[in-house]
Structure formats: structure tokens, C-alpha cells
Amino acid sequence: MKLLENKVALITGGSRGIGEGIALKFAEHGANIAFTYLSSEEKARALEVRLSEMGVKAKGYKSDAADFKAAETLAADVMKDFGTIDICVNNAGISRDNLLLRLTPEQWDEVMQANLKSVYNLTRQVMRPMMKAKSGSIINLSSVVGVKGNAGQSAYAASKAGIIGFTKSVAAEIGSRNIRCNAIAPGFIETDMTHYLKDGGAEKWFEKIPLGRFGKTEDVANAALFLASDMSLYVSGQVLSVCGGMSM
Ligand code: NAP
């Protein structure tokens, strides 16, 4: 059974990792896909082709998630190209890990702009068409680190904890318009962002994960599919942990 037939999903940071995994999963379930990237031009074009071959409409947009004006332009372009936005996945994000004593103001600002302001930027834009349509699902990528904190990741953790407060507030604000807003808090998922974890042995990390393995992008994509689809029509303002039990 296809769960997102003829829906339009806008996914930020779709060129690699979790965003790409979500784009492929949503397309498998019949959604048309608009996705963004910042610099991975070749990967974006390749994903467009792959998604189109799955029989859905697909387009990649070069758009800096940290830039409010760019989000405004992006939403307008997607509305023009696709006619609606049913699902918005705020996935684009970066990590700039450093102990607090060494964390520069520039690194702090960079992380906040790319991870937290980006979620405000695009949510502000997609709210209007969703309110008009009287339906919508917004999914924000937080992190287990936003729930628990982690040494060396104070900026990243603060940005991801901020996403949780934002998600719950938006859910309260626009729930009456039949728009749902939820967050996913992944644990360690195998992507470019976490490749360094394998240096020095993955086994020491597995001890902290009850399910004893790193997550795959598909594990997160399955959770996103649930939150995007009618399977979760009565779920809003929640944080769904996809972390192999790490956040217990
Ligand atoms: P990734 O492999 O590093 O991919 C990041 C994606 O975001 C890329 O498509 C990148 O585009 C895009 N991006 C980054 N900054 C952007 C910007 N300013 N504007 C537009 N696009 C931008 O990361 P990931 O591991 O898939 O993570 C995806 C999300 O899940 C992030 O929010 C991350 O914090 C969160 N998360 C990840 C993990 C994990 O273990 N991997 C755990 C918890 C939460 P380009 O390809 O053009 O650079």
C-alpha cells in the first residue's frame, strides 16, 4: 500500500544522508519530491534522475536553508512548480563539534543559523499554503543529542533542543488548522556527518546503544513516512526517537 500517493513533499538537505533516504522512501510511497541542497550539485542531479525513474515528479533546488529570503523564494518556486506543499521536512543541518572552551562565536552562529533558524525560515513559509489547504505535516530533524546533550557538542545540542521547543509551540499554534508538527530525534545514523565515529572502532559506541548497531538512513526514513502519512493523523507535538534505545 502506498501511503503518500500524489502528495507533495519538500525536503531540505536531500542531496545526501538522511534527507536523501527520506526522499527515496517518500517517492517509493508515491509522493512528488521537491528537495534542496547547498553545494552537492552532482548528487542533487543524480537524485532527481533516480526519483523520476521511480515514476514521481522530482526537482532539486539549490537553496541555503540558513537564509530567510532564500526560504521565501524556495517556497514560492515549489508552489509554482508543484502547486502545493503537503509535507515539509526540515532536515538540512551541520555539526561543528568543539569543546566549549574552544568554541568560537562564528561556529556557534553557523550551527544556530543552519540548524535552528533554518527550521523557522521554512516553517514560516509553508504554514500559509498548508493553512489554506487545511492540512499539512511538518517534520523537523532534531537529535538524541538535543534530548540528552553531549560533551563537545554544546552548540549542536542547543540547536537541536531548540528545534524541540519550536516543534511543540508550532504544533500548539496551528493544530486547529489541521497542521501537524513533529520532530524526529535520531541517534547515530550512518552518514557523512557521523563517519568519524568509526575512527578508533565502532564497538565502543555499540555499548551505549541497546540495539547494538548504528542506525541506517532507512530507519529514520520509516519514522518520517509514519509522521508524513495519514497513519499519524492524531499525532502532533511529539518527538519520535530513532536511536536504537540510546535515549532511555
Ligand atoms: P549529512 O549527511 O551531512 O547531509 C546534510 C545535508 O544537509 C546535505 O544534503 C547538505 O547539502 C544539506 N545542508 C547542510 N547545510 C545546508 C544549508 N545551509 N542549506 C541547505 N542544505 C544544507 O547529514 P545527515 O547525517 O544526513 O543529517 C541530516 C539531519 O539529521 C541533520 O539535521 C542532522 O543534524 C540530523 N541528525 C543526524 C544524525 C546522524 O547520526 N547522522 C543524528 C541526529 C540528527 P549539501 O550536500 O549540498 O552539502
Give the model confidence (pLDDT) of 71-80 as tens digits: 999 999 999 9
For ligand 1, atom 6, which residue shows the shortest CA distance?
Answer: 13
User: Are the C-beta atoms of 71 and 10 separated by less than 8 Å?
Assistant: no
Q: Is the CB of 66 under 6 A from ligand 1?
A: yes
- Residues identified as active-site: 156
pLDDT band at 240 (very low <50, low <70, confident <90, very high): very high
Residue 86 has pLDDT above 90, yes or no: yes
Query: What one-character-per-residue DSSP string does 13-34 give?
Result: S-SSHHHHHHHHHHHHTT-EEE
| Ligand 1 atom having least distance to the Cα of 17 | 26
pLDDT band at residue 1 using 50, 70 and 90 as cut-offs? confident
Residue 115 has φ and ψ, to the nearest 5°, of: -95, -40
CA of 13 to the centre of ligand 1 (A): 6
Give me the mean pLDDT over the 162-175 stretch.
98
Q: Which residues pair with 197 in a beta bridge?
A: none
In the predicted model, what is the mean pLDDT of residues 217-235? 98
Residue of 69, 91, 150, 208 best suited for mutating to test ligand 1, as the one with most atoms within 8 Å of CB: 91
| 176 C-alpha to ligand 1 centroid (Å) | 31
Q: Residue 245's closest CA among 211, 221, 213, 197?
A: 211
What is the rounded CA–CA span in Å between residue 244 and residue 229? 23
Where do the domains of the chain lie, and which CATH numbers do they carry? Answer: 8-241 (3.40.50.720)
Q: Is the pLDDT of residue 200 over 70?
A: no
Q: Which of 94, 97, 159, 241 to mutate to test the pocket of ligand 1 (most atoms within 8 A of CB)?
A: 94
The pLDDT value recorded for residue 156 is 98
- The reply to whether ligand 1 has any atom less than 6 angstroms from the CB of 141 is yes
Distance 32 CA to ligand 1 centre (A): 21
pLDDT value at 206 more than 70: yes
The 10s digit of each residue's pLDDT in 93-128 is 999 999 999 999 999 999 999 999 999 999 999 999
As beta bridge partners, residue 87 has: 9, 137
pLDDT of residue 182: 99
CA distances to 91, 94, 190, 210, 223 from 18, rounded to whole Å, are 8, 12, 9, 21, 11
144: nearest Cα among 45, 22, 243, 66: 243
CA of 245 to the centre of ligand 1 (A): 22
Q: Write out the DSSP string of 96-131.
A: ----GGG--HHHHHHHIIIIIIHHHHHHHHHHHHHH
- 72 CB contacts (<8 Å, ≥6 apart)? 125
Cell of 161: 533542543
Q: Which residues contact residue 30 at a Cβ distance below 8 angstroms, ignoring those fewer than 6 apart?
A: 2, 3, 4, 5, 6, 7, 56
Q: What is residue 185's predicted lDDT score, i.e. its pLDDT?
A: 98
The verdict on pTM exceeding 0.95 is: yes
- As a whole number, mean pLDDT of residues 40-51 equals 98
Provide mean pLDDT across the span 178-206.
Answer: 89
Question: Ligand 1: does its nearest atom lie under 6 Å from the Cβ of 247?
Answer: no
Ligand 1 centroid, distance to 128 Cα (angstroms): 25
Number of Cβ atoms within 10 Å of the Cβ of 75: 23
CB of 189 within 6 A of ligand 1: the answer is: yes
Ligand 1 atom nearest to CA at 115 = 32
| pLDDT at position 30 over 90 | yes
Amino acid at site 37: Y
Instruction: Decide whether any atom of ligand 1 lies within 6 Å of the 36 Cβ.
Output: yes
